[in-house]
Structure 1
Amino acid sequence: MDKFFLQQQVLERLAEDLLQAEEAARVAHETATHEENIAENKYDTLGLEAAYLATGQARRVEAICQTIARWRQFRPAAYDDSKGIQLGALVCLVDADGKEQQLFLGPAGGSMKLVCGSEIVQVISGDAPLGQALLGRCEGEEVPLRGVPVRQHYEVLWVH
């Protein structure tokens, strides 16, 4: 599985999210500044509420732009057994029930599921609880996941 292909998929999804967020911000701004939403008395807060929404949408647009910049600068390195799992690793885990899952560790803000051929790959950041538990681990090691309602254990099957 090509990590650079996965990175491109993440960037495409983020670009789609950005377009949607920009449209939502535009609509919220138009609503906040529309002449019909001018307060007629101190209890008329529709315009104020719309302004808060527009501000939140603008912040979301900025956050997505920052995430896109991080993912564009991201260069997934080849797996080095002496360092263990690092950002950029493609990892296959198996749980106690034998269920396998593939993860791609990347920079913050890219949490999503991708389809690569017939495989589903979960993108997580190194800041996520599972991402933190994986950092520095090697093939064959157990990965206990603490801080979740039900304690979970995984085994690292392979890393690329």
Structure 2
Amino acid sequence: MKERLLDLIRAELRSRFDRLSRAAKEAHAAATDPGSKAEGKYDTRSLEASYLATGQARQVEELAQDVAAFEAATLRDFGPDDEIEAGALVEVDLDGESSWFLLAPAAGGLELEWEGRDITLLAPSSALYGRLLGMKMGDSAENPALFVSEVM
């Protein structure tokens, strides 16, 4: 069941990687172009282009790691009595608002739509990821109020 979700995540990450890679190459070209050489002491175009190229290169590297993590990932199905762990798709009532989260190996914060659900990926570094680990369907916690309504 989750194989289609995994395919969707992989496709989205690859698409973002391709777009960001192209943008990073363009930023690098702009930073190294002889025409961007400073024309005076207050002309910072080349410096700004260099900062942009460096930041985008770092983002490309991080996204490549996310793509690799999902290429190797598998997502097992969970039942209502299973403890939440990595790979669980969880519906949570968080302070009165229902949300779907996937405890993912990487790409925290990525949002996508799958089978009529808006799903947000939680990376292991997320505080909510840590709070959900070990919980089961029907469990609740306080501060903020959290109720696990479904686990898949």
Superposition TM-score tier, normalisation by shorter sequence: 0.7 to 0.9
* Structure 1: distance between partners of 2:42 and 2:67: 40
2:27 aligned partner: 28
TM-score with structure 2 length normalisation?
Answer: 0.86
> Structure 1 regions of 5+ residues with no counterpart?
145-150
Change (3 A) 1:5 1:44: same
Matched, 1:91 2:80: no
The 5-angstrom pairing of residues 135-154 of structure 1 reads: 135-144=133-142, 151-154=143-146
Give 1:91 deviation, angstroms.
1.1
- C-alpha separation in 1, matches of 2:17 and 2:94: 35
Number of equivalences? 152
8 Å CA contact retained: 1:101, 1:121:
yes
State the Cα distance separating 1:127 from its structure 2 match: 2.0
The Cα of 1:18 is off from its aligned counterpart by 0.8
What is the TM-score normalised by the length of structure 1?
Answer: 0.83
Instruction: Give the CA deviation at 1:82.
Output: 7.8
- AA aligned to 1:152 is P
Q: Secondary structure of the residue that 1:152 maps to in structure 2?
A: coil
State the Cα deviation string for residues 87-146 of structure 1 (Å, max 9, x = none). Answer: 10011122453x4222211012242222223222222223212111001111211133xx
Task: Please report how far the alpha carbon of residue 43 of structure 1 lies from its aligned counterpart in structure 2 after TM superposition.
Answer: 4.2
- Which shows bigger deviation, 12-21 or 87-96? 87-96
Q: Distance in 2 between matches of 1:83 and 1:5?
A: 22
Relative to structure 1, the CA distance from residue 48 to residue 101 in structure 2 (aligned partners, 3 Å threshold; closer, same or farther) is closer
State the distance in 2 between where 1:95 and 1:50 align. Answer: 42
Q: 1:136 to 1:57 in 2, by over 3 A?
A: same
Alignment of 1:109 with 2:121, yes or no, is no
Matched, 1:9 2:1: no
Q: Deviations over 1:7-59 (max 9, x none)?
A: 11111111121122112111111111112112345544321221221111111
Q: Gaps spanning 5+ residues in structure 2: where? A: none
CA 127–80 in structure 1, closer or farther in 2 if over 3 Å, else same: farther
Give CA-to-partner distance per residue, 1:56-106, whole Å, 9 cap, x none.
Answer: 111111110011001111112333778711110011122453x42222110
Superposition RMSD in Å: 2.2
Identity %: 31
Give, in whole Å, the separation in 2 of the partners of 1:82 and 1:117: 23
Query: CA separation in 2, counterparts of 1:72 and 1:130?
Result: 24
User: Does the aligned pair in 1 maintain the 2:79–2:151 contact within 8 Å?
Assistant: no
